[in-house]
A and B are shown apart, each in its own frame.
Chain A
Amino acid sequence: NAGVTQTPKFRILKIGQSMTLQCTQDMNHNYMYWYRQDPGMGLKLIYYSVGAGITDKGEVPNGYNVSRSTTEDFPLRLELAAPSQTSVYFCASSPNRGPFSGANVLTFGAGSRLTVL
């Protein structure tokens, strides 16, 4: 199992450009998450998905869009890149079966480092 795979690992964007960060998991997890981490800070939840076709906003969704057409993939789209979106982005997945069905352990990808100049 590869676990959670994120691409690209590094990317430099110019202000106003658009791009998509890819995230794929091969564990058949229903829940997937996108976080961003600014230097010296904790992780902030951008969006999450409870299954194919269902997404919801996290703590810092502005400037991002997501889609979940399959169980395996959860891409994160930046439409008009801004310097404030310079960050490391982490994708995670979990076999969430709900609050009365056991623990919900997240598996993280290695991260994608994005710089907007």
Chain B
Amino acid sequence: DAKTTQPPSMDCAEGRAANLPCNHSTISGNEYVYWYRQIHSQGPQYIIHGLKNNETNEMASLIITEDRKSSTLILPHATLRDTAVYYCISGGYQKVTFGIGTKLQVIP
């Protein structure tokens, strides 16, 4: 699996958009980008994934650069319940490994 790099922590004001970046410069052409989040000590929860095109679902949007070397997860209107650790993964077949993720703190 391709290695990813994320900032260890970020703050976001409640109601504002949270933009979480991820670098995956070694991603291969057929490898997807996935985002998961982990609230407190619960099991990680899938958010969204993408290959080349930008994606949107009810939880978030995923913007992937044209060269596919980086992506941004966007939570359009962050709430206090979005405070969590967010993990970006690229590849994700066979040995699916997680980094330390980005700890997002949503501030009232």
A interface residue numbers (CB < 8 A to B): 4, 33, 35, 41-45, 48, 50, 56, 58-59, 88, 90, 92, 94, 96, 98-100, 103-111, 113
Contacts and interface: CB of A to CB of B under 8 A. Distances in A.
Q: Is the interface of B mostly helix, strand, loop or mixed?
A: loop
Highest count of chain A CB atoms <10 Å: which of B31, B94, B99, B101: B94
Interface stretch (B17-25, B38-46, B65-73, B75-83): B38-46
A11 to B, nearest CB: 15
A106 B93 contact: no
Given A42-B98, A103-B32, A104-B32, A98 B44 contact: no
Contact of B46 (A33, A43, A90, A106): A106
A58 B96 CA distance: 9
A111 B31 contact: no
Nearest to B99: A42
B96 A88 contact: no
A48 B43 contact: no
A8 B42 CA distance: 15
B interface, how many residues as a size bin?
A: 20 to 34
B100 A42 contact: yes
B40 to A, nearest CB: 11
Given A35-B98, A58-B95, A99-B31, A109 B46 contact: no
Nearest to B41: A88
30 contacts: A35-B98, A41-B100, A43-B44, A43-B98, A44-B98, A45-B97, A45-B98, A48-B94, A48-B95, A56-B95, A59-B97, A92-B44, A92-B96, A96-B93, A98-B93, A99-B30, A99-B93, A100-B30, A103-B32, A103-B92, A104-B96, A105-B46, A106-B36, A106-B44, A106-B46, A106-B96, A108-B45, A109-B43, A111-B41, A113-B41
Contact of A90 (B31, B43, B87): B43
Given A42-B101, A94-B96, 10 more contacts: A35-B98, A50-B94, A56-B95, A92-B44, A92-B96, A99-B30, A99-B93, A107-B46, A109-B43, A111-B41
